[in-house]
Amino acid sequence: MAGLELLSDQGYRLDGRKATELRKLQARMGVFTQADGSAYLEQGNTKALAVVYGPHEMRGSRSRTLHDRAVINCQYSMATFSTAERKRRPHGDRKSTEMSLHLKQTFEAAVMTQLYPRSQIDIYVKILQSDGGNYSVCVNAATLAVIDAGIPMRDYVCACTVGFVDETPLADLCYAEESGGVSSLALALLPRGGQIALLQMDARLHQDHLETLIEAAMTACKGVSKVLDEVVRQHLQEASVLTGE
């Protein structure tokens, strides 16, 4: 039996999207009231919940305190029911630890930590359902949560994964595409300045193709940022109506 055909001759992908099209992106901000900031985000079938606490005083070991800026603490986890086969260990495995580190790096680049010396910001993200692009969905959800918490950022951080098939970059991979032997690249972008907050790729790719792939990823990230911006504005409007301003 032949493998899946990731891109048909007519230019359609497995789920009917074209190469540059993103999945349907929906989000809500302020889903919890206990936390300082929270957001829920769906990108196709990948669903994530992000919660932010802080900035607050350092907890735990004081030795980690930084004198000129805030410490960002990230924790990534996956619900046991998020994948087709039940996950044994929702967090703390190597993959999750790595993902937590990536998130931390991404947000250290975006959040204006120097405004809050000697304090700590906690970002918790949980994947409720996983269908590819977990990292980018987490980043996008966390951005909204950080904004909801009112923590100043240089810009939205938008992330997207792209893959490379038949000399064509595919935006926003779903699980079937990710597992179909595509060399995929994840990129987190500060869209206004076009700065890259994080770029990660662990597949093999010829260097000639790298530029086109990054180009495609940046375009996709800009598309994501537009949607996020809309969500934020919508949320603000609703909030301001409620407070009667």
Give the footprint of other proteins on this chain (CB under 8 A).
1-2, 5, 8-10, 12, 14-17, 21, 23-24, 44-45, 84-85, 131, 174, 176, 205-206, 208-209
Buried (b) or exposed (e) across 179-217, using 16+ Cβ within 10 A?
ebebbbbbbbbbbeeeeebbebbeeeeeeeeeeebbebb
E-state strands within the chain:
25-29, 37-43, 46-57, 71-78, 119-129, 158-165, 168-171, 183-190, 195-201
User: Distance of alpha carbon 53 from its chain centroid, rounded?
Assistant: 18
Q: How far is the CB of 185 from other proteins (least distance, A)?
A: 15
Which tokens in the block code for residue 44?
Answer: 């196709």
Cβ distance to other proteins smaller for residue 17 or 102: 17
The answer to whether the CB of 58 falls within 8 A of the CB of 119 is yes
Cβ distance to other proteins smaller for residue 14 or 128: 14
Q: How far is the CB of 21 from other proteins (least distance, A)?
A: 8
Find where tokens 């100043």 sit. 152
Q: How far is the CB of 42 from other proteins (least distance, A)?
A: 11
Q: How far is the CB of 12 from other proteins (least distance, A)?
A: 6
Provide the Cα torsion 175, 178, 180, 184; round to 10°: 170
126: left (phi over 0), alpha (psi -120 to 50) or beta: beta
DSSP 21: P
Q: How far is the CB of 142 from other proteins (least distance, A)?
A: 23
Cβ distance to other proteins smaller for residue 100 or 130: 130
Cβ distance to other proteins smaller for residue 153 or 210: 210
Cβ distance to other proteins smaller for residue 171 or 198: 171
Cβ distance to other proteins smaller for residue 23 or 235: 23
DSSP 19: T
Q: How far is the CB of 37 from other proteins (least distance, A)?
A: 29
